[in-house]
Amino acid sequence: MTDNTQQSKERREILSQSFYNGNHQVVIHVTDKVEAVQRMQNYIEANLTERVTLAELSEAAHLSPWYSARLFKELTGLTPADYIRRLKLSKSALKLRDEACRIIDVAYDMGFGSVDGYQREFFREFGCNPKEYALNPIPLSLFTPYGVKFRGLWKETKRMETIKNVFIQVIDRPSRKVIIKRGQTATEYWTYCQEVGCDVWGILTSMKSLFGEPVCLWLPEKYCKPGTSEYVQGVEVSDDFNDSVPDGFDIIALPNAKYMMFQGEPFEEENYCEAIEALQTAMNRYDPALIGYSWDDANPRIQLEPIGTRGYIELRAVK
């Protein structure tokens, strides 16, 4: 066997895996495995308030129940049952934080079999009971269900064939505080995730934001501490915020400022890297003097979570 033939054989072995479905041996490739688990994750998200069974997940994955469960744990690190439980509990915490609702209603709305069982699971997951949390919503490590299809899509340099339409408007951002988690040398999301970890987003999501969601920021030098990154993640809160800040987090005060909001077209979730690059290219080419402004680099640049249905959004301060 030649070296090239051996390498080709090894590559096929790495990219595929066999299993038995009944009496038939089936070969599934890595990309097929990812697609199968992503379909299961999508099914769970769409049916979270119902009782999701392994049979339903295997039907979504187009695989046997046994192999579906094994594959799900391999790629997500959790069994389907643990994944569903953690996601239900995190969604229930947001309902308790944002809505005036009874514990019993939240428990049954999220598909738990009993109120007692829900309360035990909530306490085991977050270290406090639902009633305590509803009265005093403290930061929690909420579960963030990252899609397996997108975990491996690290940002790559691509040649942009066309720049899609970008919607631009000027908005006002009031004076406010931002609770942030600093990195070390990060200048963008991927290096930040390596330095800090991706789980910080779950904690930020649990904190009520002035604008409804956490943000990523590129901080001007005056807001950076020695040995910390310009790129951070955080949550914007009111000017008069005086509650405690979670361990390992910091808080900064930002003045009121005008921002130019750039919003791209909706995109397929797997194309989020391309959507980000397209918008950033358009933003870098834009001259705010066309509408009587100049860039205000004394205020942070803001990045919102890329969500395909609304398009990618960044905000840059102007004066």
Question: How do residues 223-252 score in pLDDT, each as one tens digit?
Answer: 999 999 999 999 999 999 998 899 999 999
| DSSP code for 10 | H
Question: Which residue in 274, 275, 283, 277 sits closest to 301, CA to CA?
Answer: 283
Q: Quote the tokens at residue 87.
A: 């996601």
> Contact at 8 Å (CB) between 315 and 258?
no
Q: Quote the tokens at residue 80.
A: 């389907």
Q: Please measure the distance between the N-terminal and C-terminal CA atoms of the chain and give it in whole angstroms.
A: 68
Which residues 6+ apart lie within 8 Å of 203 measured at CB?
139, 140, 141, 142, 181, 246
- Portion of the chain with pLDDT greater than 70, in percent: 87
> Contact at 8 Å (CB) between 293 and 307?
no
Burial 127-154 (b: 16+ CB within 10 A, else e): eeebeebbeebebbbbbbbebbbeeeee
| CA 201-203-208 angle, 5° bins | 100
User: 146: number of CA atoms within 13 Å, CB side?
Assistant: 16
Reported as a pLDDT band with limits 50, 70 and 90, residue 10 is very low
Question: Which residue in 155, 176, 207, 169 sits closest to 300, CA to CA?
Answer: 176
Question: Which residue in 233, 284, 230, 224 sits closest to 260, CA to CA?
Answer: 284
| DSSP code for 240 | T
Instruction: Determine which of 4-8, 29-33, 256-260, 270-274 has the lowest per-residue pLDDT on average.
Output: 4-8
> Contact at 8 Å (CB) between 233 and 181?
yes
Task: For residues 130 and 107, give the distance between their C-alpha atoms in angstroms, rounded to a whole number.
Answer: 10
pLDDT value for 151: 65
218 forms beta bridges with 231, 301
Burial 10-35 (b: 16+ CB within 10 A, else e): eeeeeeebeeeeeeeeeebeeebbbe
Instruction: Determine which of 49-63, 151-165, 193-207, 222-236 has the lowest per-residue pLDDT on average.
Output: 151-165
pLDDT value for 54: 92
Which residues 6+ apart lie within 8 Å of 145 measured at CB?
41, 44, 45, 83, 87
pLDDT value for 23: 45
> Contact at 8 Å (CB) between 29 and 143?
no
Task: For residues 210 and 63, give the distance between their C-alpha atoms in angstroms, rounded to a whole number.
Answer: 44
Question: Which residue in 222, 141, 258 sits closest to 133, CA to CA?
Answer: 141
Reported as a pLDDT band with limits 50, 70 and 90, residue 109 is very high
Phi, psi angle pair for 27, to nearest 5°: -105, 125
Q: Give the count of beta carbons closer than 10 Å to the beta carbon of residue 297.
A: 13
- Portion of the chain with pLDDT greater than 90, in percent: 71
235 forms beta bridges with 179
DSSP symbols for 52-63:
--HHHHHHHHTS
